[in-house]
A and B are shown apart, each in its own frame.
Chain A
């Protein structure tokens, strides 16, 4: 059974940092592309970043470049998102997701990040 379980969300002040984790099982992590996708309150889905499971390639949406870092640990089958210099507009539920290509077949349930003074 495929599982993706996010953790690490919480309340943080503007300018602060958080590190999200996504523990996965049930698929060939190294061969997959892993993404972070977020949904701000009352808004739609927004793709944030993607990495090849082996860590060889990674890409970001412009609004998080230089502030967020996506990484993977294929020994632990885990995905991470280091979020620095957080802004109020980063408030969202963050989903991790994975697929053999850039389309995400498998998704986690999400973890809430709230950035507020």
Chain B
């Protein structure tokens, strides 16, 4: 099983600041099949990034993904108050599919 470790656990930033979220895999993720999701309480998770760096349809360009192999990054270039949420990475290459434990982004 591929274990995904996200850091930091919590980010507390002001509107307009840049958020950098990390996701490290215990082994290489084949074809970089790594996705990022945004999840707000009481809502459905929302796909942001697929295949490590491809923005899903309708996702603002302030969200960007990068990385390969075992190290992946989600950057929110300029935080908006609506970005307050928990962000999860998920590897979609190997069974069982696994999620990281999440990074909570708080907007001051």
Q: How far apart are A86's CB and chain B's nearest CB, in angstroms? A: 20
Distance, CA A94 to CA B102, complexed state (A): 18
How many chain A residues touch B (Cβ–Cβ < 8 Å)?
A: 23
Residues of A within 8 A of B33 (CB): 101-103
Binding site secondary structure of chain B: loop
Q: How far apart are B77's CB and chain A's nearest CB, in angstroms? A: 23
> Using a CB-CB cutoff of 8 Å, which residues 55-83 of chain A contact chain B?
59-62
Which of B33, B35, B46 has most A Cβ within 10 Å?
B35
Contacts A103-B90, A105-B56; A45 near B47 (Cβ below 8 A): no
A110 interfacial contact with B, CB 8 Å? yes
> In the complex, are the beta carbons of B35 and A107 less than 8 A apart?
no
> In the complex, are the beta carbons of A109 and B44 less than 8 A apart?
yes
B residues in contact (CB < 8 Å) with A: 33, 35, 37, 39, 43-47, 50-51, 56, 86, 88, 90, 92-93, 95-102
Q: Which 10 A-B pairs have the closest CB atoms?
A: A107-B44, A102-B92, A47-B97, A103-B92, A45-B99, A44-B102, A61-B96, A103-B35, A44-B101, A103-B50
